[in-house]
Amino acid sequence: MTTVQHPKVVVIGAGSLFFGRQAVWQMVHSPILNTGTLALVDTDPARLDKMAALAEKVIAHNGVPLALEAANDWRDVLPGADFVV
């Protein structure tokens, strides 16, 4: 079995209050995922900005090395993705 080191997870539709928050929570609290990159994607810039701001606060509060990316176009963050949700 192969383990992905520092996985990059792209979450499309991350501006959704429920879906986006759950994705952030899962990434931050998983020791395997929280050393990688979380890429949030949503076509609504206002929703994306709110979710990215929330993610930054949660990451900082938990002191994990999770990198964060945010984009309105999935093509900007898809390169290097290990998982796309």
pTM: 0.93
Contact present, 5 and 77 (Cβ < 8 Å):
no
How many domains are contained in the chain?
1
User: Is 68 within a domain?
Assistant: yes
Q: How far is CA 74 from CA 11, 13, 47, 65, 79, in A?
A: 9, 10, 15, 23, 9
Residue % of the chain over a pLDDT of 90: 88
Residue 3 in domain: no
**Residue-wise pLDDT tens digits, 23-49:** 999 999 999 999 999 999 999 999 999
Q: Report if residue 18 sits inside a domain.
A: yes
> The CATH number of the domain where 74 resides is what?
3.40.50.720
Confidence at residue 63, expressed as pLDDT on a 0 to 100 scale: 98
Indicate if the pLDDT at residue 6 is higher than 70. yes
What's the helix, strand, coil split of the chain in %, to 5? 40, 20, 40
Band the pLDDT of 4: cuts 50, 70, 90: confident
Confidence check: pLDDT of 84 > 70: yes
